[in-house]
Amino acid sequence: MPDSVSDVGEFGLIDAVTARFPQGDGVVVGPGDDAAIIAVGSGRVVVTTDMLVEGRHFRRDWSSARDIGRKAAAQNLSDIAAMGARATAITVGLGAPGDLDVAWTLELADGMRDECARVGASVIGGDMVSSETVVLAITALGELDGLEPVLRSGARAGDVLAVCGRLGWAEAGLRVLSRGFRSPRALVDAHRCPEVPYDAGPEAATLGATAMCDVSDGLLADAGHLAESSHVRIDIERERLEITEAMREVGSALGADPMTWVLTGGDDNAMLATFPAQVPLPERWRVIGRVYDGEGVRVDGAPYEGDAGHVHFS
């Protein structure tokens, strides 16, 4: 048995821990997707949780309290949408230093409230404890409104891979902030808080999506989750990916290839889904690849050289 969490890796540790918890009859979808689903009476509730730690997921000198609150809520609300569901409520666990400014905390709450308002969800409670740094743990709840959930495991050879939302913006903004700059504003703001296409999740379910997740760890990493769960190979085509002029300018200034940010940057929370090839997709869904028999993720038919995205405990 490995000695440390970093030896096991995030998903290996999660698998090992959850294997110790037998799933009851009320569990419709257990661990392994963007959210779990439990049966409640005659209905089903979608549940997910996520954490943000100061210094790793956000910095108070880079982002306002409101932005951090919005980002924390968005990461969880996005996971609900990625199941094809509609978020209804969140609960919040907050760890905070004793000298944290009350006004900052209230602004944080305003950010969570405002992001929830975008999808008609409510902040319904939580808990607060003392901590050396600011830590946020949010649980989001949602409902399927009669739709079947879209899991990560349904992609089939012959499907197309499509994305709705931004790719690489947040990573480009992070690179800008890391160099001490604050512009281009659109990219910096994308790092501070994603603009999530929440309604694209239920839309994908209605359109007949076969598999779906949100892009939080990076396009290649999250496409890898779909490929692994569905036991297929996904091939992404570079020419179908969008690089904005602002990203090109930043890439030129930093001596970096913005395509790397598009392929591996996280925190944009775009919706990534597979669809049967014959399904006509709305314009905002961009086909960026295809699904084949096999395993893993390739770019233009070849394995990608380098990190596929964010890896916890790396």
**What's the confidence (pLDDT) of residue 102?**
92
**Do 108 and 147 touch, CB atoms closer than 8 A?**
no
Residues 6+ apart with CB under 8 A from 36: 27, 29, 30, 46, 47, 48
Q: How many CB atoms lie within 10 A of CB 174?
A: 20
- Residues 43, 119, single domain; the answer is yes
In a domain, 85, yes or no: yes
What single-letter amino acid sits at 118?
R
- Residues 164, 138, single domain; the answer is no
* Dihedrals phi, psi of 247, to nearest 5 degrees: -65, -40
What single-letter amino acid sits at 87?
A
Q: Is 214 annotated as a binding residue?
A: yes
- Residues 93, 218, single domain; the answer is no
pTM given for the model: 0.88
- Residues 67, 178, single domain; the answer is no
The span from the CA of 240 to the CA of 14, in Å, is: 34
Q: Is 257 annotated as a binding residue?
A: no
Residue where a domain stops, chosen among 110, 143, 176: 143
Q: Is 229 annotated as a binding residue?
A: no
In a domain, 265, yes or no: yes
Residue where a domain stops, chosen among 143, 172, 194: 143
Q: Is 139 annotated as a binding residue?
A: no
Q: Is 67 annotated as a binding residue?
A: no
Provide Rg for the chain, Cα atoms.
19
Q: Is 235 annotated as a binding residue?
A: no
* Dihedrals phi, psi of 263, to nearest 5 degrees: -75, -35
In a domain, 314, yes or no: no
**What's the confidence (pLDDT) of residue 43?**
82
In a domain, 127, yes or no: yes
Residue positions counted in the chain: 314
DSSP, collapsed to helix, strand or coil, labels residue 35 as: coil
Q: Range of 16's domain?
A: 5-143
CA dist list (Å): 218 to 208, 225, 266: 24, 11, 4
**What's the confidence (pLDDT) of residue 5?**
46
- Residues 106, 18, single domain; the answer is yes
Query: Strand 211-215 to strand 122-130: parallel, antiparallel, or no bridges (unpaired)?
Result: unpaired
**What's the confidence (pLDDT) of residue 42?**
62
- Residues 127, 167, single domain; the answer is no
pLDDT tens sequence across 152-167:
999 999 999 999 999 9
Q: How many CB atoms lie within 10 A of CB 162?
A: 25
Q: Is 222 annotated as a binding residue?
A: no
In a domain, 254, yes or no: yes
In a domain, 309, yes or no: no
Q: Is 145 annotated as a binding residue?
A: no
Q: Is 50 annotated as a binding residue?
A: yes
CATH for 77: 3.30.1330.10
Tally of domains in the chain: 2
- Residues 165, 202, single domain; the answer is yes
Q: Report the first-to-last Cα separation within the chain, whole angstroms.
A: 18
What single-letter amino acid sits at 204?
A
- Residues 213, 247, single domain; the answer is yes
DSSP 144-199: -TTPPP--TT---TT-EEEEES-SSHHHHHHHHHHTT---SHHHHHHHHS----TT
**What's the confidence (pLDDT) of residue 142?**
95
Q: Is 293 annotated as a binding residue?
A: no
- Residues 277, 188, single domain; the answer is yes
- Residues 10, 136, single domain; the answer is yes
- Residues 137, 232, single domain; the answer is no
Look up residue 198 and give its two tokens: 């929440």
CATH for 215: 3.90.650.10
Q: Please identify every stretch of the chain with a pLDDT value under 70, giving residue numbers as ranges.
A: 1-25, 41-42, 310-314
CA dist list (Å): 257 to 107, 192, 244, 262, 286: 36, 22, 12, 9, 22
**What's the confidence (pLDDT) of residue 252?**
96
In a domain, 126, yes or no: yes
- Residues 168, 274, single domain; the answer is yes
In a domain, 267, yes or no: yes
